[in-house]
Amino acid sequence: MAKIALITGATSGIGAACADTFAAQGYQLILIARRENLLLSQAQQLTDKYQVKIKTIQADVRDKENINYVLDTLPAEWKEIDVLVNNAGLSQGLDPIDKGDTDDWDTMIDTNVKGLLYVSKVVSSWMVEKKHGHIINIGSIAGKEVYPNGNVYCATKHAVDALSKGMRIDLLPHGIKVTAIHPGMVETEFSIVRFKGDENRAKKVYDGFEPLIAQDIADAIWYAVSRPAHVNINEMLIMPTAQAAATIVKRD
Ligand code: NDP
Ligand code: 8X3
């Protein structure tokens, strides 16, 4: 029977690259994101390319009731999830703490921390029953360092770092692996979202150096997932060669 991966935030960037990578490996996919048109076209493309079964769930990970509902009502055979990739996340704004928008703070905390928890609670309970599974949490260099104006986004990613360690401890008795993947700068829709659609400002973030691409992170995730049963990759911090720390980048 094909293995199953559930990927949140699958319509763009790292999540979309993961969907392609897991489908290429023959996994059945459950893909969650808010933009239904993208989910549907992506599922069609992957089905055509790899002939794998895909279930799309148009949902917002912040909506606890709905997340519980859509996961609980999955057919039993789709609850046999081998890999959960907690990828849905975002940054909004880049302002000093006294000038930040509290709605942006709520969005980041609700998505990056609480959304990850809502999905993890349900899926980890199924993994505990089976005594099998692997949870991949997408953290960030922003979960290892704090940079100017990154305040709340960095706090959410520090929370993902702590939660990954906590999950690893709590799920240890059940043989469930937990891996945190911490990327540096990856060129995706991330900066466009951070700067609320300002594509010129977003593009400048990656000017003068070669950033990571989403596939670099999908490759790292696949490396972690494809280790033998007795090996767990606790975490990986993956940077562009031109980036030494959150704010130290060698630009041409
Ligand atoms: P993208 O903006 O390209 O992708 C983000 C994905 O998350 C989209 O598919 C989006 O889909 C989904 N998403 C956002 N909010 C929600 C929500 N409330 N419910 C469900 N899905 C949601 O960015 P990346 O691929 O770069 O980001 C993926 C992860 O990687 C994030 O957790 C980010 O913090 C992290 N990261 C990114 C880095 C970078 O430099 N790009 C570096 C380090 C970490 P939709 O809009 O359809 O819901
Ligand atoms: C995204 C990386 O440092 O650009 O998590 O905020 S950073």
Catalytic residue among 69, 118, 153, 223: 153
| Whole-angstrom distance, CA of residue 179 vs CA of residue 168 | 8
Q: Which helix (H) or strand (E) holds 112?
A: none
Domains and CATH numbers, the chain: 4-249 (3.40.50.720)
Active-site residue flag, 206? no
Q: Which residues contact 124 (CB under 8 A, 6 or more apart)?
A: 84, 133, 135, 167, 171, 176
Condensed to tens digits (0 to 9), the pLDDT of residues 38-58 reads 999 999 999 999 999 999 999
How much is the pLDDT for 200? 98
Condensed to tens digits (0 to 9), the pLDDT of residues 144-189 reads 999 999 999 999 999 999 999 999 999 999 999 999 999 999 999 9
| Whole-angstrom distance, CA of residue 88 vs CA of residue 10 | 8
pTM: 0.99
- Chain-wide mean pLDDT for the chain? 98
pLDDT band at 36 (very low <50, low <70, confident <90, very high): very high
Condensed to tens digits (0 to 9), the pLDDT of residues 105-143 reads 999 999 999 999 999 999 999 999 999 999 999 999 999
Q: Which of 87, 113, 140 to mutate to test the pocket of ligand 2 (most atoms within 8 A of CB)?
A: 140
How much is the pLDDT for 153? 98
Q: Per the structure block, which two tokens stand in for 101?
A: 């928008």
Q: Which helix (H) or strand (E) holds 108?
A: helix 102-108
Rounded to the nearest whole angstrom, what is the distance from the C-alpha of residue 6 to the centroid of ligand 1? 15
Q: Which of 138, 156, 213 to mutate to test the pocket of ligand 1 (most atoms within 8 A of CB)?
A: 138
Residues with CB under 6 A from ligand 1: 8-15, 32-35, 38, 60-62, 87-90, 111, 115, 138, 140, 183, 185-186, 188-190, 193, 214
Does position 1 have pLDDT exceeding 90, yes or no? no
